[in-house]
A = this chain, B = another copy of it.
Amino acid sequence: MHSQIPQNACPLTPPDDPEIQAWVRLAHGYHQIARRLEQALDEHSLSLAQFEVLARVHFDSGMTQSELASRLLVSKGNICGLLDRMTAADLVQRQTDSEDRRVNRLSLTKGGKDLLAITLPVHLSIIKEMMSVLSPPELGALHTSLEKLSPEAAC
């Protein structure tokens, strides 16, 4: 036998499947961009999660807390806490639905809209900058692949 590599020293080898490699890159790319976005938002005492609520509620005004939770892939208790902090900061409003009094309809306050107007352009420019290493066709292919990965995500 001429096994040159001591196998039993390390039973687990780094996975080289393309799916796993893609996941590792996906996670790394996500964190890299997310950290950068968080840094920029920090100036306004806004977390990335809160920014996402801000943008989502703005672009989908009148949505319910449950809808928001499923859109952001978090629990309803989590959304409730997020909204507590954001209403305290006068960024978001809850309004009881007149037809179903269990439901809260969400919308931004003036302060929330103003803050979004300030932060969104910076946010977008950071994303564009970090994505600019990709050519338009690559960007298109990336989008198509990720679309398959989570079809229900809308912008």
Contact = CB atoms under 8 A, between A and B. Distances in A.
Interface string A12-36: 1011111111111111111111110
A34 B27 contact: yes
Interface residues of A, number: 66
Copies of this chain in the oligomer: 2
A25 B124 contact: no
Interface in A129-143: 130-134, 136, 138-143
Nearest to A152: B28
B26 A30 contact: yes
A29 B150 contact: yes
Contacts of A12: 58-59, 113, 116-117, 120
27 contacts: A2-B63, A2-B105, A3-B63, A5-B62, A10-B61, A10-B113, A12-B116, A12-B120, A15-B120, A16-B155, A17-B124, A24-B153, A25-B147, A25-B149, A26-B26, A26-B29, A26-B30, A26-B33, A27-B30, A28-B150, A28-B153, A29-B146, A29-B150, A31-B73, A131-B149, A141-B142, A142-B146
